Structure 1
Amino acid sequence: MCSRWMALVLTLLALGQLPTCCLAIAQLDEEFIWGYRDDSSQRICHAESVIVPPTWEAFFSFFRPVTRLVTFTPPNTNQAVRYIRVWTDAPWHRFRAELVHGGVGTKAPASTIIRLHRHWLLFANIVVYCSIPTA
C-alpha cells in the first residue's frame, strides 16, 4: 500500500499536478518579509492581526487549509508600500504567506493582497510600512 501511495505522489510531482496544499509543508515559516525597512523615510500605514480560532471541522479537514486574504491600499496616492512583515508570535504556529497582488512599490489605488494559510489554528500579525507622504 505504501509503495502505491509513493508511486502516485511521485507521478503527480513529475506531472506538476500535486495540489499546493500538499507542497505547502516545505514552505511553512514563522515570518515573511518583503522590502526594506527605513524608519527615517517610512511610517506604519496598516497593522492587523489575523486569528482563526480552532474548530473540529478544520482539524479533521487537514488537506483543506484555513485561508485568509488580507487586502490593503495605501491611504494617499503619493504614498507607496515600502516594507511588509507578516509573522507569528508562536513558533509552533508556522504558516504560509504569499503576495497575490501588488506588494512593495504599490501605490493607491492599487491594492496589495496577501494570502495566509495553514492547516489549522491560523495566528498572524501583519504590518505594512509606507513612504512618508510628500506635502
Structure 2
Amino acid sequence: MRHPPRSVLLAVAGTVALVAAALTPVVTAQGAVPACTVEYSVTGQWDAGFQGAVKITNNASALSSWNLTFDFANGQKVTQGWSARWSQSGTTVTASNESWNGALGTGASVSAGFIASTAGVNAVPAA
C-alpha cells in the first residue's frame, strides 16, 4: 500500500549533534533559533520498505563536520544510504558527513538519503 510522502521539521534539542572540533551539546533559549534544523521525509514506500531523505540546515557558525542521530519507533532498519555514512544500533540511526560534505557554512544545507526496511507502521521519527 502506498502512502503519501510525509515530512516533519525537527528542531535540534540534543538528538542532532553538530560537530566542529568536538561534540558540543546544543542548547537553545525559548524562542531562539536552533543551531540547526532537519527536514525528514519519506520519498517512496512499498510493502516491506521505504526511501527516506534528510536535509540538515546549519543555523549557527560554520562547521567542519556534522552528525545526525534519530530513533525509529517501529522496527525500521536502514539497509543502505548515500551522501552520508549511515549506521544503526538498535533503534538509533546515525548519519555522519562524508569527507566531501562536512563543511557547512552559516545557512548552508546538506541532503542525504537512505533505503530502509519496515514491517507495517512507518512512523516518522519524533526528534
| TM-score in terms of structure 1 length | 0.39
Q: Which has the higher helix share?
A: 1
Q: Which has the higher strand share?
A: 2
| TM-score in terms of structure 2 length | 0.41
